[in-house]
Structure 1
């Protein structure tokens, strides 16, 4: 038996490695790889020059830029406030904590169209919040800012639920030892707590970003959908399909797939580096 085969068999004390690996490959191929392969095959008829010409069209480029930049911005904001929410729900006892903890998962269960309608009603110029800021000359609904708020709404649970178990496992003795050695609260946060949370934060960031890039239902009701201003790439794909421009829709989807892949790959590489740098936490 070769050393490689021996190492594979010793990778787990549980039996059934071959069956489990075969099931995993078949399942992923049917659910993930085959649809993506069909998408690439559909776009192959355009050729690289055709994909490039569609991707650099001003309207397509603007929609891709809007989707990716706003998804990154919303995910970054959720990293900050998601950690705060997870910390409060984990470390403090107060009345209603269980209700707040359950409310974090509501964006998972709420239909995205319902969420979009609710957000548009609240942040519209005549809505509860929109009416308060309208006299100041500010506008949230039907602007890129409205898209960011929608993406924050649907992305927050990814950060909270990813970071929360890590905070639970953090030993408070380490924080107390840091304080006893003369470290300030800021030093304890930056040198003890955040390094332990970094791998989980990167995972939550990647999940929130991926969800935000492909989000459609909760965005179209609050975005305004103005080309070159607040039009997202998924909406432009739907527009192309309604125009029976299947090649154009496929090309935009390929661009989204390629850009998302490289961004998520970069995040995974940073996450792998952080695990080596700060240890497995």
Structure 2
């Protein structure tokens, strides 16, 4: 009989289910229950109000833009960290995890200071008439900052485990650097990229602390959905807050489900190849 370091399956499964129930299921269940206590007409009236729809548009478009930026920059950063050795590499690698350790409110204040019109970074585009802080562009910056590690940390281990023999074989067959990346490396990275993109997008959808300081929070313009739900909470309108939050919850679940389907197809394609 194989020796088990952890407790038996029934005990381990029971502990896991209790933990998941308390940390995940109960809060989500309370949210769904509160939203379901509304009738369909009231629920639809709340989630389809012009202010709510505007917040969905601002949140979704900003999250898509931040995720697209992280796809390019995060992929490049992971590539540099894995493929090259240079002074300060370990320091940069540690900085990738800074958004995880930094309180989001602190990140929001720092980003607002840096990207204000008189800030170190914001003064440069300000000379060209481009304002970052208190605009949708500022929301994208905050989302990109907080969600970047998800792309880097999902792609980096796969890059480290790639067999160099695959690239060497492609080079001996006359493949260019571009064709090797597109036909050999990128397909192997696709499942990890999809996972990183889904996590990055989900984090951007639900980000709050880092955004409210730099967004300006103007209804119909720079107000995100999470802030609108928080405003309803401050008004003691718990049902409306739950209804608005449920839209983010449903969106995140749908996005994760679609990503899992795409990942499964990518893995099956790689297995056939």
* TM-score (norm. length: structure 1): 0.91
From 19, 22, 26, give the equivalent of 2:18: 26
Cα distance in structure 2, aligned partners of 1:118 and 1:277: 44
| 2:44 maps to 1:45 | no
| 2:127 maps to 1:105 | no
| 2:108 maps to 1:116 | yes
CA contact (8 A) 2:206 2:226 kept: yes
Question: What residue in structure 2 maps to residue 143 of structure 1?
Answer: 135
Cα distance in structure 2, aligned partners of 1:243 and 1:15: 48
* TM-score (norm. length: structure 2): 0.94
Give the 3-state SS of the residue equivalent to 1:230 in structure 2. Answer: coil
| 2:235 maps to 1:243 | yes
Structure 1's unaligned 5+ residue stretches are: 1-11
Cα distance in structure 2, aligned partners of 1:127 and 1:110: 20
Question: What residue in structure 2 maps to residue 279 of structure 1?
Answer: 271
How far is the alpha carbon of 1:274 from its aligned partner? 1.0
1:18-56 deviations in whole A, cap 9, x for unaligned?
333232222212211111111111122212222111111
Aligned residues: 270
Matches within 5 A, 1:225-264: 225-264=217-256
How far is the alpha carbon of 1:158 from its aligned partner? 1.0
Matches within 5 A, 1:107-186: 107-186=99-178
Give the 3-state SS of the residue equivalent to 2:41 in structure 1. Answer: helix
1:61-86 deviations in whole A, cap 9, x for unaligned?
11122112211221222111111101
Question: What residue in structure 1 maps to residue 56 of structure 2?
Answer: 64
Structure 2's unaligned 5+ residue stretches are: none
Structure 1 residue ranges, 4+ long, deviating more than 6 angstroms after superposition: none
CA separation of 1:101 and 1:129: change in aligned 2, threshold 3 A? same
How far is the alpha carbon of 1:15 from its aligned partner? 7.6
CA separation of 1:223 and 1:279: change in aligned 2, threshold 3 A? farther
How far is the alpha carbon of 1:233 from its aligned partner? 0.6
1:137-179 deviations in whole A, cap 9, x for unaligned?
1111111111111111111111111111111101112111101
Q: State the superposition RMSD in angstroms.
A: 1.9
Give the 3-state SS of the residue equivalent to 2:195 in structure 1. Answer: helix
CA contact (8 A) 2:114 2:121 kept: yes
From 56, 76, 87, give the equivalent of 2:79: 87
| 2:192 maps to 1:189 | no
How far is the alpha carbon of 1:276 from its aligned partner? 1.1
